[in-house]
Amino acid sequence: DSGVTQTPKHLITATGQRVTLRCSPRSGDLSVYWYQQSLDQGLQFLIQYYNGEERAKGNILERFSAQQFPDLHSELNLSSLELGDSALYFCASSVGSGAWDTQYFGPGTRLTVL
């Protein structure tokens, strides 16, 4: 158990809908990262927050947004869902924001868009 929690574990929804994925980092970790794992794209970085502030953005679609709250938990919002958004979404956390801080991953949320 990495100490990172993600809810829900599974999510099935329809095209055009909006969903929210939730992540709680390990105790003491200030950075939260979101990654998407799909069969065709592999593991892709979406976005990073550090202590409540957005720090880095990857290939995150405009339909997707995220935030990190004062208690350091984070939410990833996916809207106007398309079939291609079906993927495993991981949250990871690290102590700091350095490139050498080990990122510990949560169990993931498997999103299925029908």
The structure tokens 């939410």 sit at 75
Per CB under 8 A, the list member of 58, 84, 112, 114 interacting with other proteins is 58
Buried b (16+ CB within 10 A) or exposed e, 34-43: bbbeeeeeee
Which residues are 76's β-sheet partners? 21, 66
Pick 24 or 48: Cβ nearer other proteins: 48
How many residues touch other proteins under the rule CB under 8 A: the total is 28
Q: Is 2 in the site for other proteins (CB under 8 A)?
A: yes
Of 22, 15, 23, 19, the closest CA to residue 92 belongs to: 23
**Per-residue DSSP letter, 65:** E
Interface pattern 72-111 for other proteins (x via CB under 8 A): ----------------x-x-x-x--xxxxxxxxxxxx-x-
Which stretches of the chain bind other proteins, using CB under 8 A? 2, 31, 33, 35, 42-43, 45, 48, 55-56, 58, 88, 90, 92, 94, 97-108, 110
